[in-house]
Amino acid sequence: MSPYDQGVSAGEPPAAIPGARLLFSLDPGVSYLNHGSFGAVPIVVQRAQQRLRDEVDANPMRFHAGNGLMDRIVHTRRHLAAFLGADPDGSALVPNTTTGVSLILQSVRLESADEVLLTDHGYGAVALAARRQCRRTGATARTVALPLGAGDAEVVARVRAALRPGKTKLLIVDQIASATAVALPVREIAAAAHEHDIPILVDAAHVPGQLPVEVAAIGADFWVGNLHKWAFAPRGTALLSVAPRWRRRIEPLVVSWEQEEGYPLNVEYQGTLDYTPWLASPTGLFMLRTLGWEAVRRHNAALASYGQRVIGEALGATDLPHPGHPDVAMRIVPLPAGLATTTPEAHALRARISEKLAAEVQVNAWGGRGLLRLSAQVYNRADDYDRLAEHLPQLLSEWRR
């Protein structure tokens, strides 16, 4: 697949999935084109979680201290792991991908001569966590640049060349990058890292529910992905998968009563943590399957491509980066040069678009360029993107002044 949609030929938008908009409680006055940031919880999942909250508050002692909570957590974990093709005995439920990353950074036990290798497509909070752990241990965090639009072979070659056997203690790569919406060839990257026995952590925050995945087949030492973005789970639901040789070394960020049980229970049980998002998450998967997951993926990817085309045309963009996988439902449109080149500027522009155009998008500063990121989900329609394309050029023109 070409890394670029040369000629921006996304064609007509896909047919809407009947009734899908009614499954969500989103504000009908806002074009919500940023599912990738926080997801959107379907009404049926909200209700399932509320029933669980009601159960907790009806008898907190019974819920938290009764004999059934851990069994319910294990059952849920096995259900989610099966959906993702992960080993349930090597998986743990965690609140989000960022938590899983910090847990792994703590568990690999960095020393002063070590380094953590990241890419410049990585999520900002992950980079912050890596740098903090490096400061604590005297290790070094280093970044390898991957050009936007690079093919899989070039990506693997650049990462392989950046590895330092004997020094690189951990490699962190995204399966789908947040800022650039690029799908990276994580299986091939993992194989390259393992040539030198370098462990790899895959940040798959955007993968569950967006891409078909067999976690075990990737071969990563650590893999963590959110289910509250694209798998319709309540916010606060993610799955961490750990390869067998690392499981005994996993140290939870908080020690609680299941500590002696070891991984994964010592990671999952955190006393009075709110477990209702996890326990309600299978309802989200049920809804995804009821809609038809393949149909959802096709719809979302096609609609994201359409949105990228019409907004790209409106802004005069010619080279529109393709995410590198046909099912990715996020696309980026490079903004005119000089706009949103820093993170504060990107945040300010995103807020202005929300305020003035009643549209929620993501704006990222990456590589000295502002990138507008669009998502597509079953509740979106082509006219959401058409309206943004109609009014965004004027807003950006005024923003420049």
pLDDT for 298:
96
pLDDT for 5:
39
CA dist., res. 340 & res. 400, Å (int):
10
pLDDT for 15:
93
pLDDT for 145:
97
Reported confidence tier of residue 67, pLDDT bands at 50, 70, 90: confident
CA dist., res. 91 & res. 310, Å (int):
41
pLDDT by residue (tens digit) across 385-399? Answer: 999 999 999 999 998
- Phi and psi for 174 in degrees, rounded to 5? -90, 140
Give, in order, the Cα–Cα distances in Å from 204 to each of 134, 174, 210, 253, 258. Answer: 22, 6, 10, 20, 27
pLDDT for 315:
96
pLDDT by residue (tens digit) across 4-28? Answer: 333 334 578 999 999 999 999 999 9
pLDDT by residue (tens digit) across 278-334? Answer: 999 999 999 999 999 999 999 999 999 999 999 999 999 988 999 999 999 999 999
Mean pLDDT over 344-371 rounds to: 97
CA dist., res. 106 & res. 337, Å (int):
40
CATH topology of domain 4-16+293-400: Aspartate Aminotransferase, domain 1 (3.90.1150)
**CATH for 45-286?**
3.40.640.10
Mean pLDDT over 321-348 rounds to: 96
Mean pLDDT over 222-242 rounds to: 98
pLDDT by residue (tens digit) across 132-155? Answer: 999 999 999 999 999 999 999 999
CA dist., res. 76 & res. 392, Å (int):
43
Domain boundaries, the chain: 4-16+293-400, 45-286
Give, in order, the Cα–Cα distances in Å from 238 to each of 91, 218, 350. Answer: 10, 18, 26
pLDDT for 10:
54
Buried b vs exposed e over 258-289: b needs ≥16 C-beta within 10 Å? beeeebbbbbbbbeeeebbbbbbbbbbbebbe
What pTM, to 2 d.p., does this model score?
0.95
Reported confidence tier of residue 400, pLDDT bands at 50, 70, 90: confident
Mean pLDDT over 61-73 rounds to: 91
pLDDT by residue (tens digit) across 169-206? Answer: 999 999 999 999 999 999 999 999 999 999 999 999 99
